[in-house]
C-alpha cells in the first residue's frame, strides 16, 4: 500500500535527490498498491482543533510559491468531516495573494506547528473559496465566537493527504496562555505566600 502524501510529493526529481543523498531505499516500501488515505483520524482532528494558527502555501500563475500565516483562537480551523476542513477568512492586508493564487490553481499545502509539544502536521489539499454573501449558512458554521472582524469568505479545504513530521530540530516555543498554565502552581504558591505575609504584618 502506498503512502498518499508521498505519491503526491515524490516526483522524479525528488526521487533523484533521494538517490543522491542515500535515502531512496527508505521510501520504496511506501510505493505501489492502493493509496493509504481514507480520511483524517481522531489524532489529526484533535490536533487541528487545538491549533491557533497554521501556514498556508499556494503557487501563483508564474509558479512563484507563496506562504501565508493564518491565526486565530484555538479551533478556528474547523474539522467539518474526515476529509474537509474550513475556516472563516477575515479582511486582512487587501493583497489577496492566496485568494488569487487559489482561483487559478486550487492546490495548497498546510503546515501546522505545535512548538510546545514538538509536533508538526503537513496537509496537502485542494481549496474552495466561497464569498460570505453566497454562503451564509456556511459562514455561520465557521464563525469564531466573540471575534468581531468582518468575514469576507469561507475557505473550504478538501484534504487529499497528510503526513506527520518528526520532532527533530523543532525549537520549543510557548504561548502566553501555555506559560500561564505551566506556571499556575507557582502563581498559586506566590499568592499564598503574599497572604501569609499580609497576616504576619497584621500581627506585628
Give the SS3 label for residue 78.
strand
CA of residue 170 relative to chain centroid, distance: 15
* Same domain, yes or no: 118 and 185: no
Alpha-helix residue ranges (DSSP H) falling in the chain: 4-9, 12-21, 24-27, 42-49, 97-104, 136-142, 176-182, 184-203
116 closest CA partner among 71, 64, 173, 65: 173
The rounded distance, in Å, linking the Cα atoms of 132 and 87 is 12
* Same domain, yes or no: 41 and 92: yes
**Residue 13 belongs to what domain range?**
1-36
User: Which pLDDT belongs to residue 204?
Assistant: 63
* Same domain, yes or no: 141 and 203: no
* Same domain, yes or no: 107 and 192: no
User: Which pLDDT belongs to residue 148?
Assistant: 76
Spell out the residues 6+ positions from residue 200 whose beta carbon is closer than 8 angstroms to its own. none
In total, how many domains does the chain have? 3
* Same domain, yes or no: 44 and 141: yes
What is the edge-to-edge ordering of all strands in the sheet holding 78-81?
Answer: 65-71, 53-59, 107-114, 119-131, 151-165, 84-90, 78-81
| Mean pLDDT over the full length of the chain | 92
pLDDT over threshold 90, residue 146: no
pLDDT over threshold 70, residue 39: yes
* CB 133 within 8 Å of CB 62: no
* Same domain, yes or no: 61 and 144: yes
* CB 159 within 8 Å of CB 40: yes
* Same domain, yes or no: 158 and 61: yes
CATH at 146:
2.30.110.10
- Looking at the whole model, is its pTM more than 0.85? yes
* Same domain, yes or no: 62 and 141: yes
* Same domain, yes or no: 18 and 69: no
Question: What nine digits make up the cell of 49?
Answer: 482543533
* Same domain, yes or no: 181 and 104: no
The rounded distance, in Å, linking the Cα atoms of 104 and 8 is 19
* Same domain, yes or no: 119 and 204: no
pLDDT, tens only, 106-116: 999 999 999 98
| Torsion sign, CA atoms 11, 12, 18, 23 | positive
* Same domain, yes or no: 53 and 122: yes
Report, as an integer, the average pLDDT of 158-168.
92
The rounded distance, in Å, linking the Cα atoms of 29 and 36 is 13
Amino acid at each position: 500500500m502506498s503512502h498518499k502524501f508521498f505519491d503526491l510529493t515524490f516526483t522524479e526529481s525528488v526521487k533523484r535527490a533521494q538517490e543522491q543523498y542515500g535515502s531512496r531505499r527508505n521510501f520504496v516500501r511506501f510505493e505501489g498498491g492502493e493509496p493509504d488515505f481514507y480520511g483524517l483520524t481522531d489524532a489529526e482532528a484533535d490536533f487541528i482543533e487545538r491549533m491557533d494558527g497554521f501556514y498556508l502555501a499556494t503557487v501563483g500563475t508564474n509558479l512563484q510559491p507563496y506562504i501565508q500565516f493564518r491565526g486565530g483562537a484555538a479551533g478556528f480551523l474547523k474539522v467539518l468531516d474526515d476529509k474537509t476542513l474550513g475556516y472563516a477568512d477575515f479582511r486582512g492586508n487587501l493583497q489577496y495573494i492566496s485568494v488569487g493564487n487559489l482561483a487559478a490553481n486550487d492546490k495548497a499545502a498546510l503546515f501546522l506547528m505545535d512548538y510546545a509539544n514538538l509536533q508538526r502536521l503537513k496537509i496537502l489539499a485542494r481549496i474552495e473559496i466561497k464569498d460570505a454573501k453566497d454562503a451564509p449558512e456556511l459562514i455561520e458554521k465557521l464563525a469564531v465566537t466573540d471575534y468581531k472582524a468582518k468575514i469576507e469568505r469561507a475557505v473550504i479545504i478538501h484534504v487529499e493527504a497528510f503526513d506527520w513530521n518528526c520532532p527533530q530540530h523543532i525549537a520549543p516555543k510557548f504561548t502566553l496562555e501555555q506559560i500561564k498554565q505551566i506556571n499556575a502552581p507557582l502563581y498559586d504558591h506566590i499568592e499564598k505566600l503574599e497572604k501569609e505575609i499580609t497576616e504576619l504584618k497584621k500581627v506585628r
